[in-house]
């Protein structure tokens, strides 16, 4: 073999040239790879930095306040040394739940329409329109909620303010639609056509086929879309803060002022001195939010895995 | 008469003028042959299907004898699957497909054109069932697959559904293999079992006609053998139309064979005659293996 290669280099064969080019390519590849690697590292460092930034004040708080009293305390009164965030946590969960209740059915219907019923022409109009929803700044949602939705609820409910979980749930429900619809639509489209045709060939209507074959088959993907919507809703701040009424009590109704973790953080962060227990408590609330979001993302990954496993099993 | 895209099935009963129920002189009889075919279950007249501007099949006339197996043979792309899907109007699920001509299905004692306006596709597909080339069980349990059709058609009684499931699974020669694991996912079955499950699922709707589009194309020889055996038994009760790329299969399972080439029906005759003494030179070339 070595003899052959010396014979070739003697006449500067194309093989030699090729080796040289390949070498240069490898250099360029190394540079690019380094660049991408650096970006990825930067991301990891950012996330770690955020964890540390939030975690340190939170730990400082837990030196003074028992985590139990923090998580399940019903009273938020920093001036009296009470740092219970249950009202905010409950508010966040309730607002998110309302969002899912309102946005879920609406979004699923929209996704079914886009994936299975809409003509190509209607799809061309609807898709950008839905994506536009995602581009509206949340303060605009909040503004519309505050000036249109809250007065509307006040007028029709007889309540004094109209602020509360109902308004927040409606606003959040609309806000999660773009994410939910596009992901749920993808899940519906991923259902193999042969089982759809298999159902139609049995003399079922299009609606029966959608309800009994396509939706069940797409369900893991739809659930993942819902969880991602939840993650978006629970972190939403501005729009919620504007329509929720901001009262630090556990919500007892849909049209009573309440608070969420996010709305409370944004409300108090300017008024608490840095390093004070109250300020540390806000960071701890941030940590709580982060953990909830992380939990949701883990859940999404789990349902996704289940979804792909299911499809692979079926085919 | 052309049909547009599939209209949403309605509750409108298939109220329509019957197109002639006159006893038919079979083509074989018309040619003066000795063994006349049984009464047809489906009569196809001047059927053409186009995909956009390409012609799928043109001007096909064919009778499908009742309670027997008719095989559709021909090289790939000859239109045999298109013809099959025209019989339960599945072609219309693909955009840009236009159909003309008549497909007369015996329905409530008379022949009705399934392409006449106002035909209820749900009713049609209950009568004309279908088994696909690749097994396509739903991602549900075995028993749920079988009772899917009856359930959608309004059967709610559990005992009745269980009975229907057993009957259909027995007919599809699958009962003994799955009776102990009816609630297991259908996906856990082997390919051949899945295909028999799909046959059971089609039979559970109690159709008159069962269309099969190369049902053994993706199966191993043993599973293929089981399904071929099954066809012989099923043809006592059902009118079966099977598309196959295998002449041997056509010879083994069918009573009548129709040969398609380039979208045209070249010849249709009793299978034995087709295999041994075809009329048309093109059929002869095909069955003797000169092409295809």
- DSSP string of A69-83, one letter each residue: HHHH---EEGGGTEE
Contact with chain B for residue A308, Cβ under 8 A = no
For A140-194, how does the pLDDT look when each residue is reduced to its tens digit (9 = 90+)?
A: 999 999 999 988 988 888 888 888 888 999 999 999 999 999 999 999 999 999 9
Residue ranges of chain B whose CB lies within 8 Å of a chain A CB = 8-9, 88, 90, 93, 121-127, 129-130, 132, 134, 136-140, 148-149, 152-153, 185, 187-188, 198, 201-202, 205
Q: What is the mean pLDDT of residues A196-221?
A: 94
Give the integer Cα–Cα distance in Å for B250 and B253. Answer: 6
| pLDDT for res A11 | 53
For B97-124, how does the pLDDT look when each residue is reduced to its tens digit (9 = 90+)?
A: 999 999 999 888 889 999 999 899 999 9
* Verdict on whether the full-model pTM lies above 0.90: no
CB contact under 8 A, B152 and A192: no
CB contact under 8 A, B125 and A216: no
Give ipTM to 2 decimals.
0.83
For B171-187, how does the pLDDT look when each residue is reduced to its tens digit (9 = 90+)?
A: 998 999 999 999 999 99
Nearest-by-CA chain B residue for A214: B138
| pLDDT for res A113 | 94
Contact B61, B101 (CB under 8 A): no
* B-chain residues near A202 (CB < 8 A): 125-126, 129, 148-149, 152, 201-202, 205
| pLDDT for res A269 | 85
Domain ranges, ordered by start, for chain A: 3-62, 69-314
Give the integer Cα–Cα distance in Å for B5 and B243. Answer: 25
CB contact under 8 A, B202 and A202: yes
| pLDDT for res A4 | 45
Cα–Cα–Cα angle for B182, B184, B188, rounded to 5 degrees: 120
| pLDDT for res B137 | 95
| pLDDT for res B25 | 41
Give the integer Cα–Cα distance in Å for A283 and A261. Answer: 10
Q: What is the mean pLDDT of residues A207-226?
A: 93
CB contact under 8 A, A200 and B125: yes
Rounded mean pLDDT of chain B?
A: 85
Crossing angle, helix A165-189 and helix A86-112, to 10 degrees?
A: 40
Whether pLDDT at A45 is above 90: yes
Residue A113, SS3 per DSSP: helix
- Percent of chain B whose predicted confidence (pLDDT) is above 90: 64
CATH 1.10.3720.10, domain A69-314, yes or no: yes
Whether pLDDT at A7 is above 80: no
Q: Which helix (H) or strand (E) holds A289?
A: helix A277-314
If pLDDT is split at 50, 70 and 90, which confidence band does B17 have? very low
Tokens of A41: 């590292």
Whether pLDDT at B24 is above 60: no
* B-chain residues near A314 (CB < 8 A): 137, 139, 187
């Amino acid at each position: 073999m070595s003899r052959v290669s010396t014979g070739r280099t003697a006449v500067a064969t194309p093989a030699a040239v090729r080796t040289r080019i390949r070498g240069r390519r490898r250099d360029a590849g190394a540079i690019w790879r380094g660049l991408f690697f650096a970006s990825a590292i930067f991301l990891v460092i950012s996330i770690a930095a955020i964890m540390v930034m939030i975690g340190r004040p939170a730990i400082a708080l837990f030196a003074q306040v028992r985590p139990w009293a923090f998580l399940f305390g019903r009273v938020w009164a920093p001036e009296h040394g009470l740092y219970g965030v249950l009202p905010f946590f409950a508010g966040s969960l309730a607002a998110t739940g309302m969002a899912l209740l309102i946005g879920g059915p609406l979004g699923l219907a929209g996704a079914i329409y886009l994936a299975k019923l809409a003509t190509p022409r209607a799809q061309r109009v609807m898709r950008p329109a839905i994506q536009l929803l995602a581009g509206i700044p949340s303060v605009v949602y909040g503004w519309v909620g505050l000036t249109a939705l809250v007065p509307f609820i006040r007028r029709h409910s007889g309540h004094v303010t109209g602020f509360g979980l109902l308004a927040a749930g409606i606003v959040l429900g609309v806000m999660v639609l773009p994410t939910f619809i596009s992901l749920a639509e993808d899940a519906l489209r991923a259902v193999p056509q042969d089982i759809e045709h298999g159902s139609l060939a049995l003399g079922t209507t299009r609606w029966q086929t959608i309800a009994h074959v396509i939706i069940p088959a797409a369900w893991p993907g739809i659930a993942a879309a819902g969880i991602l919507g939840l993650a978006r809703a629970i972190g939403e701040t501005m729009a919620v803060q504007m329509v929720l009424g901001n009262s630090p009590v556990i919500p007892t109704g849909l049209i009573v002022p309440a608070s969420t973790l996010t709305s409370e953080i944004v409300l108090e962060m300017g008024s608490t001195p840095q390093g004070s227990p109250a300020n540390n408590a806000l960071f701890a609330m941030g940590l709580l939010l982060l953990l909830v979001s992380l939990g949701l993302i883990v859940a999404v990954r789990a349902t996704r895995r289940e979804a792909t496993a299911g499809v692979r099993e079926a085919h | 008469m052309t049909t547009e895209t599939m209209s949403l099935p309605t509750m409108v009963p298939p109220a329509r003028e019957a197109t002639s129920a006159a006893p038919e002189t079979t083509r074989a009889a018309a040619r003066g042959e000795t063994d006349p075919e049984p009464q047809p279950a489906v009569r196809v007249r001047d059927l053409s299907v186009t995909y956009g501007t390409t012609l799928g099949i043109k001007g096909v006339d064919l009778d499908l004898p009742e309670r027997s197996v008719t095989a559709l043979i021909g090289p790939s792309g000859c239109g045999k699957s298109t013809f099959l899907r025209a019989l339960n109007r599945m072609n219309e699920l693909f955009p840009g497909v236009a159909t003309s001509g008549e497909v007369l299905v015996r329905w409530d004692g008379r022949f009705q054109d399934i392409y006449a306006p106002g035909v209820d596709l749900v009713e049609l597909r209950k009568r004309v069932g279908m088994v696909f080339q690749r097994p396509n069980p739903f991602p549900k349990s075995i028993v749920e697959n079988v009772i899917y059709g009856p359930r959608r058609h309004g059967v709610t009684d559990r005992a009745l559904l269980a009975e229907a499931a057993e009957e259909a699974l027995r007919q599809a020669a699958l009962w003994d293999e799955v009776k102990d694991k009816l609630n297991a996912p259908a996906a856990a079955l082997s390919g051949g079992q899945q295909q028999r499950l799909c046959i059971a699922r089609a039979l559970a709707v109690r159709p008159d006609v069962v269309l099969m589009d190369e049902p053994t194309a993706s199966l191993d020889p043993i599973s293929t053998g089981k399904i071929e055996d099954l066809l012989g038994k099923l043809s006592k009760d059902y009118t079966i139309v099977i598309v196959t790329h295998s002449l041997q299969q056509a010879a083994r399972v069918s009573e009548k064979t129709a040969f398609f080439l380039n979208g045209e029906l070249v010849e249709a005759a009793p299978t034995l005659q087709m295999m041994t003494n075809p009329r048309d030179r093109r059929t002869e070339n095909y069955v003797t293996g000169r092409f295809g």
